[in-house]
Structure 1
Amino acid sequence: MNVNKNRIKLPLMLSFLIFSMLLNSMGVIILQLSEKVSYKGLGVLESFKDIPMAIMSLFCVNLIAKTGNKNALIFSLVFILVSCIALPLVDTFWFFKIWLSIVGVSFALAKISVFSIIKNNFKDAQLSSAISSVDASFMFGIFFVNIGFGTLLTSSYSEYWKFGFWVIAFLSIITLLLLKSVDIDEAQKSEDGKKPGEWKFFLSPKLVYFFIIVFFMVFIEQSFNSWLPSFFKNNLKINSYFALQASAFLALFSFFGRLATSRLILRFHWFKLIMICLFVVFLILGICQVLISYFYSDYKFLLIFIMPMIGLFLAPLFPLYNSEILNKVPKEKTHLLVSIVVIFSSLGSSVGSLYMAIIFYKDASNFYPLFILLPLLIIFGLTFFLNKTPITYDREQQE
């Protein structure tokens, strides 16, 4: 039984690894295009990924219910395979917008499918552990894409950096083969979105708190993953290669943080883990801001080591929130739940990128840690409400 569960988990982890590399290649793209396009323009570029992602998540629920989660995940990987092969062959800026739209649509399909597969094949603490494992692979994808592209950009083949996306295409082929060979339990045909009053379930206070937290969590993660290389380059005056490597270590620490969480959640309550992580994140951000404001010239080099460490405690938050809610929601509502999560994630990503773009545009990036601290305070307050509030819904609707 454990072997079967691990066989299911592996292609899911690889899928999130692939989409992580695609979604977080924005840090590389921003660095490469920043000399040609303003930060204001680059901030808008992210919306070409996030808006189609949000729109697709609204309309793909019934489609996934009909085709099945496994087939929907296969379709999303095929779209990625084709688009990654095409990207280096089209040498125009407008194709980045089309490519990002394809990535956004495919990720909406993939995320709903992956989380639904986890819901249908894992339970309770094992479900929480599976989500943390899958999300850990997402963080490793960020590490891999920054190390890979960073190495490529400093080599004699730097002008061919876009061909790095062919590696992602190759990984997509491997994942497709693994998915084809594994048996996955599918939920019964869903009526999601068709019952009158179905959406009222998602207005439960606990779920509203959760959706707001999702928005700000992605908002914060986007501020780190896409803009930390630019902060290192502009404020610490280090070259693009080392800027990407520092950001890669943020992802590596995030990977270890989520990997550890997949084990710790089997022993400790999610709320206790979140409180510990939030406290340490506040502490690290405060130290970084003090160093930047008062001891910049003497301890600048420390920031290169301290800031990536924040991933060890920031990264576990998102899967912990997700697993707490996913465990409480009935199977038949999983597709709709994850589609709403994708919408709020997309909004958080776009707004977060615009937020940071304005900060860099206004030359206020010396307060980078402080600006990230503000939305974290909102998450901290909402977490108490999330923990104390039960999910309420009409029992008759479930029967």
Structure 2
Amino acid sequence: MSRTRIIVAMAACYFLFAILLNSVGTVILQSIQTFAVSKGQAATLEGFKDLPIAIVSFLVASFIPRIGYKVALLAALCVVAVVAVLTPSIGHFWAIKLLFAAIGSAFAIVKVSVYALIGQVTSDAKQHSSLLNTIEGIFMVGVLSGYWVFAAFIDGESGSMAWLQVYYLLAALIALTMLVVWLAPINKPAQSTNTPLAQDFVMMLKLAAQPLVLVFVLSAFLYVLIEQGVGSWLPTFNNEILHLPVTVSVQLTSLFAASLALGRLLAGQILKFIPWYVFLNCCLLGMAVLIVLTLPLTQNVAPQAVSSIFSAPLAAYLMPLIGLLMAPIYPLINSVMLSSLAKAQHAAMTGLIVVFSALGGTTGSIITGLVFEYFSGQHAFYGALLPIAGVAVCLFFFKRRAELQQAAQNQNVVGAQ
């Protein structure tokens, strides 16, 4: 029962932050229309979200176990609740930047805490991978829900700020999540009082210097670059390239989140029969093929009366399906990496994961936004082919390093016997 309540608390936090974090694509589109900012200015929202994630996770990953995961989660949720309540009354673009900075800072704490807690409530690599995929799947369900929550507050009138009222609802959800976390029996982890905080920080830096970890974080960086580049700009792509209404553009983007959620759920079953390396390379190849076949369909699309998602052109349904193929990559490489480390290193490793994921997300969104503004939406999405190739190369070296490390560990075990 205690384990279940902890898992529910982790899932609630992840579900909530999925809505908050992945609303950035919708908010970019709404900011362009409401606050009359350029695409380049709107793209900075990704930076205000991701850079605090990188900075905070890097600084506090080693500190969080000292104060306890429950205290850390409650503090993070409280900060976001306060800013969410203030945002609609301020009603300026700088308030949106402040909100995403708060969301990013809080998520850094939440992700480090949740990933470390997964290691505490699981006993082996199989359980770890299963629970991590479940939590990440719940995250994608939250992303999917978020598009429809925000769409319900968009009235379609250019310049209207009515959509900001959604943050009052989200503040109420944050309060509910705080209650769930408060009731969960999350114990403070055992921590050696003789280890200085500075030494814990140095250990995290040393961890980053390991060859296997270096290849892994580069893989994570490139993956998130693709996911955020597509996810953050898909609503704008639907609106400006496919000429769909704002509400329909946002609702159709939910197919991207649904594809990610479904892909992660299916991956758990497929991986029972196919080696992870072969499976992920098939996914990368499928992503590239889908981009090459879909984007030509978006050229010179004539504006037409579209009143719902059911009357949208074919291309609007095909592009989000890339999520089905990219879905298994991130949780799988995370699980392989974390499972190879001692549980005491999970918080530090998660800090590195969050840092490089955040940097990848910011880079992907800004590059996509700039290419979108100065060239075209098609050029922006064709650009995803480069990091897809980069992930394929990184996975090759990641597999080799993982096999070498496993062989070395086996040799040490034999020698000890």
TM-score by length of 1: 0.90
How far the C-alpha of 1:219 sits from its partner, in A, is: 0.8
CA distance in 2, matches of 1:202, 1:94: 35
Q: Which residue of the partner structure matches residue 168 of structure 2?
A: 166
Which of residues 236, 243, 246 in structure 2 aligns to 1:240? 246
Task: For residue 186 of structure 1, report the CA deviation from its aligned partner.
Answer: 5.0
Alignment pair present for 1:19 and 2:20: no
The answer on whether the counterparts of 1:126 and 1:266 sit within 8 Å (CA) in structure 2 is no
What does residue 82 of structure 2 align with?
Answer: 82
How many angstroms does 1:305 deviate by?
1.2
Q: Cα offset for 1:208?
A: 0.6
2:227 and 2:5 map into 1 onto residues whose CA distance is 29
Output the CA distance in 1 between the equivalents of 2:119 and 2:168: 32
Q: What amino acid is aligned across from residue 243 of structure 1 in structure 2?
A: S
| Cα RMSD, aligned residues only | 2.7
User: Higher mean Cα deviation, 387-396 or 201-210?
Assistant: 387-396
Alignment of 1:222-241 (within 5 A): 222-241=228-247
- Conserved? CA contact 2:31–2:93, under 8 Å: no
Alignment of 1:34 with 2:36, yes or no, is no
Within 5 Å, which residues of 2 pair with 1:317-332?
317-332=329-344
User: Do residues 314 (structure 1) and 319 (structure 2) align?
Assistant: no
Shift in Å at residue 369 of structure 1?
3.3
Q: Which residue of 2 aligns with 1:118?
A: 118
- The question of whether the paired residues in 2 share the 8 Å contact of 1:286 and 1:369 is answered with no
Q: Aligned-pair distance for 1:193?
A: 5.1
Give the residue type in structure 2 aligned to 1:353. S
Q: CA 1:193 to 1:23, structure 2 compared with 1: closer, same or farther past 3 Å?
A: same
What displacement does 1:269 show? Answer: 4.0
Which residue number corresponds to residue 145 of structure 1?
146
After superposition, where does 1:181-196 map in structure 2 within 5 Å?
Answer: 181-184=183-186, 186-189=188-191, 191=195, 194=199
- Tell me the TM-score normalised to structure 2 length: 0.86
Structure 1 CA distance, aligned partners of 2:135 and 2:15? 8
Q: 1:189 aligns to what SS in structure 2?
A: coil
> Could you list the runs of 5+ residues in structure 2 that have no partner in the other structure?
303-311, 413-417
Whichever residue aligns with residue 318 of structure 1, its letter is Y
CA distance in 1, matches of 2:405, 2:286: 33
Gaps of 5+ in 1: none
Among 344, 349, 365, which residue is 2:377 paired with?
A: 365
Deviation of the 1:117 alpha carbon = 0.4
Within the candidate set 190, 193, 216, 2:222 is matched to 216
Per-residue deviation, 1:200: 2.6
Distance in structure 2 (CA, Å) of the matches to 1:243 and 1:193: 48
* 2:216 and 2:333 in contact (8 A); partners too: yes
Distance 1:289 1:259 in 2: 27
Report if aligned partners of 2:49, 2:100 keep a CA contact under 8 Å in 1.
yes
Q: Is the partner of 2:313 in helix, strand or coil?
A: helix
Give aligned pairs, total: 392
8 Å Cα contact 1:218/1:345 also seen in 2: yes
How far apart, in 1, do the equivalents of 2:64 and 2:273 lie?
A: 34
The structure 2 residue matched to 1:251, chosen from 236, 249, 257, is: 257
Report deviation, 1:210.
0.7
Note if contact 1:7-1:182 (Cα within 8 Å) is conserved in structure 2.
yes
CA contact (8 A) 2:81 2:174 kept: yes
The letter of the residue matching 2:113 is S
Alignment of 1:383-394 (within 5 A): 383-390=395-402
TM superposition shift of 1:378: 0.3
What is the CA-CA distance between 1:50 and the residue it aligns to? 2.0
Structure-2 change in CA distance of 1:383 and 1:249 (3 Å): same
Deviations 1:57-83 (A, max 9, x none): 122123302111222112111222222
AA in 1 matched with 2:183: S
| Structure-2 separation of matches of 1:200 and 1:33 | 41
Q: What is the Cα deviation at residue 392 of structure 1? A: 5.5
> Quick one: distance in 1 between partners of 2:161 and 2:84?
17
Question: Are 2:352 and 1:340 aligned?
Answer: yes
| Alpha-carbon distance between aligned partners in 2 of 1:278 and 1:245, rounded to the nearest angstrom | 26
Per-residue deviation at 1:296? 5.8
| Contact map agreement 2:153 2:165 (CA 8 A) in 1 | no
Alpha-carbon distance between aligned partners in 1 of 2:133 and 2:236, rounded to the nearest angstrom: 28
Deviation at 1:183, TM superposition (A): 2.3
Rate the CA distance shift 1:245–1:197 in 2: closer, same or farther, 3 A.
Answer: closer
Change (3 A) 1:27 1:375: same
Q: What is the letter of the counterpart of residue 280 of structure 2?
A: I
Tell me: CA distance 1:266–1:171, structure 2 relative to 1, closer, same or farther (3 Å): farther
Q: Quick one: distance in 2 between partners of 1:83 and 1:259?
A: 34
**Secondary structure at 1:152's aligned position in 2?**
coil
* Matched residue SS, 2:153: helix
Relative to 1, partners in 2 of residues 1:85 and 1:370: Cα closer, same or farther, differing over 3 Å? same
Larger CA deviation: 146-155 vs 127-136: 146-155
- Does the CA contact (< 8 Å) of 2:91 and 2:161 recur in 1? no
Maintained 8 Å contact 1:128/1:323: yes
Q: 1:356 to 1:181 in 2, by over 3 A?
A: same
CA change 1:185–1:276 in 2 (3 A) is farther
Against the structure 1 CA distance between its residues 290 and 96, is the aligned structure 2 distance closer, same or farther, given a 3 Å change threshold?
closer
Q: Of the candidates 171, 178, 181, which is equivalent to residue 180 of structure 2?
A: 178
| 1:284 partner amino acid | L
